[in-house]
Amino acid sequence: MEYRRLGSSGMYVSEITYGNWITHGSQVEQDSAIKCVRAALDNGITTFDTADVYAGTRAETVLGKALKGVKRESYELLTKVYWPTGTGKNDRGLSRKHIIESVNASLKRLKTDHIDLYQMHRFDYETPLEESLSAFDDLIRQGKVFYIGFSEWSSDQIQAALKIQDARGYTRFISSQPQYSMLWRVIESKVVPTCEANGIGQIVWSPIAQGALTGKYLPGKKPPAGSRATDKKGGANMISRWMRDEVLSAVQNLKPIAEANGLTLAQLAVAWVLQNPNVSSAIIGATKPTQIKENVKAAGVKLDGETMKAIDRALGSLPECDPSKTVSPNPRA
C-alpha cells in the first residue's frame, strides 16, 4: 500500500480507501462486511469511507462494529451529512440543526469520539452557505471533527465556500469526493484545477464505474447472477448508464492494455484514477475479501504515457467530460 497526503493537510490517507456505500447493511450480511473490513486492514488500507444515509444509517453501524478493537489512531474515518436520514423536514440538508444532530448520531453509530474527515455530501441550495460552514467550523473547534470536505460540488460552489471560509477565519476544506473514472471525467476541466490551486485533494468514488470497468459484463449478454447490475436495492440503477453494448465492447478493448501491464481490468481502472496527481485516494467497495486483495494491487502502479493514450483510444468519445454534470439536487424536492 502507498499513502498520500490529503490535499495540503498533514494527514495521510491510503491510496485505496474502503467504502461501504452499497454493501454494508444492504447488499451483504454483517459477518461478511466485517470480514471485508478486516481484509482491508490486513492489506494496508487505513482509510474508511461511509455516510449517515448509506443503508438508512445501517452502514455506519456495521462499520463501527467492524472497527471495534482497532487502535483508533491507526485509521482515518470518513463520513458525510446531507441526504435524508428520517422523515422530518429537518432530517436532511445542511442546516446547522441537521449537521449537529447528524454528527452526534454518526459518532454513536461509529462508536468513536471523533471523525477524521466530515463531508458535505452535496451542495444545499436552501441553506445559507455561511450557516453550513459555520456549523462545520464549530465541530472542528469542538474536536468532534478534524478535517472537512465536500462531495460533488462545482467549481463555482467550491470557490464561494472558500471565500467565506477565508473571510470568517474558518478552517478550509481539504478534500473533494467526486465520481471519477475512465468513463466519468467531468471533474478534470474545472473542479480539479480549482482544487489544485486551493490545496484540496480528491478522494474519488466509483473508479471502476460501479463495476462496468471490471470486464465481467459482456455486450449482448445478461449480467452475471449476483452482480451489482442485478441488485435491485440500488446497484442496478447506478450501473445502468454503462450497460450499453458500445460501452461494454470498449471495455473489452481495454483487456490487452491491462494484460500488458500485468493488471486485471479492475486494477487498471483504479490505477488510472491514481495517475491524476490531484487524486489522494480511490474508494473501492467489496462484497468479499478476495475483491479487496485484488484491487489493492492497483496501489503504487505507474502507467506510462503510451498506456494512458492507449486507454483513451480504446474508449474514444464514450467518456463523459461535461463539467456541468457535477450537480447537487435539492434534498427536499
Residues serving a catalytic function are 54
What residues contact 237, with CB distance under 8 A and at least 6 apart? Answer: none
- Residue 205, Cα to own-chain centre: how many angstroms? 3
Cα gap 158→271, rounded to integer Å: 27
Rounded (5°) CA angle 253-257-259 = 110
Cα gap 6→177, rounded to integer Å: 11
Q: Which residues pair with 17 in a beta bridge?
A: 47, 283
Distances (CA, A) of 250 to 274, 313, 320: 21, 10, 14
Provide the b/e sequence for 28-42 (b: ≥16 CB within 10 Å).
beeebbbbbbebbbe
Provide the b/e sequence for 257-275 (b: ≥16 CB within 10 Å).
bbeebebbbbbbbbbbbbe
Residue 162 phi/psi, 5° resolution?
-60, -35
Q: Could you please report the per-residue DSSP string of 241-307?
A: GG-SHHHHHHHHTTHHHHHHTT--HHHHHHHHHHTSTTEEEEEE--SSHHHHHHHGGGTT----HHH
